[in-house]
Amino acid sequence: MRITFALAATAVLALSGLPAAAEYARIQSKSDFVAAVNGKRLTRPLVNLQVTPGGAIAGKGAAWQITGSWSWKDGYFCRTLVWGGKDLGYNCQVVMRDGAKLRFTSDKGAGESAVLTLR
C-alpha cells in the first residue's frame, strides 16, 4: 500500500511540473476577432498577412501576393481570397485562439486547419 501511494504521489508531482496542453478557445464575435488582429500580422512559414478591421486582407504567401476581403457572419470569419492570381473563393471559417496562435478551420469548422501566429 505504501509503495502504491508513493508511486502515485511521485507521478502526480512529476506531471504537475509539465506545461498545460494548448487550449484553444473559439472567437465568437467580430469585436473579439478585430481586437486580436488589429495592428498585428498573421504569420506562418512563407506567409505574412495583414487582416484589417475594415475588412481587407493583404500580404504574401510563398512570394505571391495575397489579397482579399473578410466579414464576420453568424460566428464565422468569412473571406474571399486571391493568391498569386488564383481565386480561392469564398469560405467561412471557425477561428480559435490560444495566446498568440490563431487556428482557422475552413468549411465552418469541418475542413482543413491552418495555425497562424500573431506578431
The predicted structure's pLDDT at residue 21: 59
Q: What is the pLDDT of residues 55-96, one digit of tens each?
A: 999 999 999 999 999 999 999 999 999 999 999 999 999 999
Q: How many CB atoms sit inside 10 A of residue 55's CB?
A: 13
User: Band of the pLDDT at 12, cuts 50, 70, 90?
Assistant: very low
63/47 Cα distance (integer angstroms): 8
The predicted structure's pLDDT at residue 113: 98
Q: What is the pTM of this model?
A: 0.81
User: Residue 79 domain-assigned?
Assistant: yes
The predicted structure's pLDDT at residue 16: 38
Burial class (CB within 10 angstroms; exposed 0-12, middle 13-18, buried 19+) of 37: buried
Contact 35, 53 (CB under 8 A): no
Q: How many CB atoms sit inside 10 A of residue 77's CB?
A: 21
The predicted structure's pLDDT at residue 28: 98
Q: What is the pLDDT of residues 15-53, one digit of tens each?
A: 334 445 579 999 999 999 999 999 999 999 999 999 999
User: Residue 16 domain-assigned?
Assistant: no
User: Residue 108 domain-assigned?
Assistant: yes
User: Band of the pLDDT at 7, cuts 50, 70, 90?
Assistant: very low
DSSP state of 107: G
The predicted structure's pLDDT at residue 20: 53
The predicted structure's pLDDT at residue 66: 98
Structural domain count, the chain: 1
- CA distances to 12, 19, 48, 109, 117 from 23, in Å: 21, 11, 24, 16, 15
User: Residue 1 domain-assigned?
Assistant: no
User: Residue 15 domain-assigned?
Assistant: no
- CA distances to 16, 35, 46, 66, 85 from 88, in Å: 45, 26, 18, 10, 9
Please give the residue range of the domain that contains residue 65.
22-118
CATH number for the domain that contains residue 95: 2.40.128
